[in-house]
Amino acid sequence: MDDAKRLASALNPLTKSPQFSNAKARAAARQEPAVNWPATKVRNADFNPEVDGCESFVMNDGSTCAWVPGQFRYVAQK
């Protein structure tokens, strides 16, 4: 859960930027070694940026750094 909290803390300040996008969130998440990319790909299999906004990221510890579209921020989830 600490990994997801750390990633959410890193991504949330970026969401305040007017140029924030899913591509920028993904690029920032690539800097985090605790992201489980195969699991993230499965989680976002039906992802549509026009509808969903941003992807959620699955961490190696099983937690998720989840995008909450209504709040326009990331939250850590078990």
> Cα dist. 48→45, 52, 53, 55 in Å?
9, 6, 7, 9
What is the CB neighbour count within 10 angstroms for residue 35?
Answer: 19
11-24 burial, b if ≥16 CB within 10 A, otherwise e?
Answer: beeebeeeebebee
pLDDT number for residue 73: 97
Give per-residue pLDDT as tens, 27-78: 999 999 999 999 999 999 999 988 899 999 999 999 999 999 989 999 999 9
In angstroms, the CA 49 to CA 36 distance is: 20
Confidence (pTM): 0.93
Query: Per-residue confidence at 3, pLDDT binned at 50, 70, 90?
Result: very high
Q: What is the DSSP letter of 35?
A: B
